[in-house]
Amino acid sequence: MLILKRNQWKKGVVGAVAGVVMLGAGGVSAGAVWISGVKVVQTLSDAGAYGDCMAHMSKPISDYISGCPGNGWVTFSCDGTYNSKDAGQRKFESAQLALALGYRVSLLVDNTKKHNGYCYARRIDIYK
C-alpha cells in the first residue's frame, strides 16, 4: 500500500513539473526565441527609421514570440542601437543573400528590444 502511494506521489510531481514546463514553452512573453525554417521575402533600408534596416520573413514573428508585430518584419539594428553598425549591416547583408539565393534562415529574435515596434533579430543563420 505504501508503494502505491509513493507511485501516485511520483506521478503527481512528474505531472506538476510537466505542467510548468508546458506553460513555459507555450508562449514566450519576454526574452529571445529561435525561429527556424523561414524565408526572407523582402528587405528594407530606411535611414532614420526601423533601426535603418529590416527584413520581412515568410511567417509572422508573432506566431513564435509575443509582443512582436504579426506581419513578419524584424530589425537588425543597423543604426548601432543594439549592436555595432557593422554587425547590424552584416546581418542585413546575410538576409539579402538569403533572399537572393532563396535559402532559409534561422533567427534569434528578442522581443525586449525594438525599433518602431518591430522586434530585434540578434542573430541570423542561413541554410539550404
Return d(Cα 75, Cα 109) in angstroms, integer.
9
DSSP state of 65: B
Q: Which three cell numbers stand for residue 8?
A: 501516485
Q: What is the pLDDT of residue 9?
A: 43
pLDDT per residue as tens digits for the range 80-111: 999 999 999 999 999 999 999 999 999 999 99
Q: What is the pLDDT of residue 17?
A: 40
pLDDT per residue as tens digits for the range 60-74: 999 999 999 999 999
CATH for the stretch 32-127: 2.40.50.50
**Residue 92 is inside which H or E element, if any?**
helix 85-101
* Residue of 12 and 113 predicted with greater confidence: 113
Mean residue pLDDT of the chain comes to 85
E-strand ranges in 1-128 read 32-46, 52-57, 73-75, 104-115, 118-127
Report the amino acid identity of residue 15: G
Each domain of the chain, given as residue ranges in start order, spans 1-29, 32-127
